Amino acid sequence: MAKSIDVSDLNIYYGDFLAVEGVSMTIPARSVTALIGPSGCGKSTFLRSLNRMHEVIPGARVDGKVVIDGQELYAPEVDPVEVRRQIGMVFQRPNPFPTMSIYENVLAGSRLNAKKLKKHAADEIVEKSLRGANLWEEVKDRLDKPGAGLSGGQQQRLCIARAIAVEPQVLLMDEPCSALDPISTSAIEDLIHDLKSDYTIVIVTHNMQQAARVSEDTAFFNLAGAGKPGRLVEMNATRKIFSNPDEPSTEAYISGRFG
Ligand SMILES: Nc1ncnc2c1ncn2[C@@H]1O[C@H](COP(=O)(O)OP(=O)(O)O)[C@@H](O)[C@H]1O
Ligand SMILES: [Mg+2]
């Protein structure tokens, strides 16, 4: 199920504005890769280019290559809608459909994929996904209640359940804990740890300790200056990035001297 991602010479534009320049990296399968760097350096932009969400913005485009398990993501025959279904995304603010029940929230993506989902199959997907997201025990007796009634941390796990319900190959997370309290953050981090045996996970985080705790590899992005595009400065094993990085600007960032 999990796939590795090969990015080469990727440039990402908003109209004429080159937001991210010349990224090449290999993101290993069944592993967690953290993206770190100062605000505005293009972490979210880069993340969205990995499931073709970037292009939903008018004028936005990329050049270069993204290859997921041998398949070129931007090849003309590839359907971007299909890609977005295959590559799940979890955002900064939990965004369950507020009036939809917990049960229907989990199934939202699956219902798009399969028009007629039998009750039995649907029940199975819901339980499996909620168990996978470490939420089942907390909500199994109130599956028909609205998703909005859950706490922030539970809502984020519900969004993760919704994302994994379609059995994606890759899970992209953009600061998934930044709106959560420490206990919920810890629950999400435990969950990320469990999920990586099945998924390729890419997570943007502003929290260095979090990057150090959850990821195998870390990519540091930076801006050469105001108005300049973001670039990948260094990607290395997380252990190395946080102890003995190759680049002085990585060292400066992780030790809090800027950013
Ligand atoms: N929808 C957009 N339209 C135009 N420019 C954008 C858009 N979203 C982000 N940008 C620009 O792209 C650059 C990278 O932003 P972003 O990817 O959000 O950075 P980060 O996630 O690292 O904070 C910034 O200069 C930002 O202003
Ligand atoms: Mg961002």
Q: Over its length of 259 residues, how does the chain's per-residue pLDDT go in tens digits?
A: 678 999 999 999 999 999 999 999 999 999 999 999 999 999 999 999 999 999 999 999 999 999 998 899 999 999 999 898 889 999 999 999 999 999 999 999 888 777 788 999 999 999 999 999 999 999 999 999 999 999 999 999 999 999 999 988 899 999 999 988 898 899 899 999 999 999 999 999 999 999 999 999 999 999 988 889 999 999 999 999 999 999 999 999 999 876 5
* Ligand 1 geometric centre to CA of 45 (Å): 6
Among the bound ligands, the one closest to the CA of 12: 1
pLDDT of residue 233: 98
Query: What residue owns the CA closest to ligand 1's atom 14?
Result: 42
Domains in the chain, CATH or no CATH each: 5-94+171-254 (3.40.50.300)
Which residue, judged by its Cα, is nearest atom 4 of ligand 1?
14
* Per-residue pLDDT at 223: 95
**pLDDT score at 242:** 97
With residues binned 3-state (H G I as helix, E B as strand, rest as coil), the percentages for the chain, rounded to 5, are: 40, 25, 35
Cα 23 to middle of ligand 2, angstroms? 17
pLDDT tens for each residue of 4-15? 999 999 999 999
Q: How many CB atoms lie within 10 A of CB 193?
A: 13
**132 CA to middle of ligand 2, Å?**
26
User: Ligand 1 site: residues with CB under 6 angstroms?
Assistant: 14, 17, 19, 37, 39-45, 57, 230
122 Cα: distance to centroid of ligand 2 (angstroms): 34
Residue minimizing CA distance to atom 6 of ligand 1: 14
Report the amino acid identity of residue 4. S
Q: What is the pLDDT of residue 139?
A: 98
Return d(Cα 62, Cα 154) in angstroms, integer.
35
Query: Is residue 108 a contact partner of residue 84, using CB atoms and an 8 Å limit?
Result: no
Distance 174 CA to ligand 1 centre (A): 13
pLDDT at residue number 258: 64
How much is the pLDDT for 2? 72
Backbone φ, ψ for residue 58 (5° rounding): -55, 135
How, if at all, do strands 87-90 and 170-174 pair?
parallel
- pLDDT for 76 equals 95
Q: Which distant-in-sequence residues (6+ apart) come within 8 Å of 96 by Cβ?
A: 105, 147, 148, 150, 155, 158, 159, 162
Give the residues across from 24 on adjacent strands: none
Task: Give the residue among 163, 156, 153 at the shortest CA–CA distance from 51.
Answer: 163
Angle CA 189–194–196, to nearest 5: 95
Closest ligand 1 atom, residue 230 Cα: 14
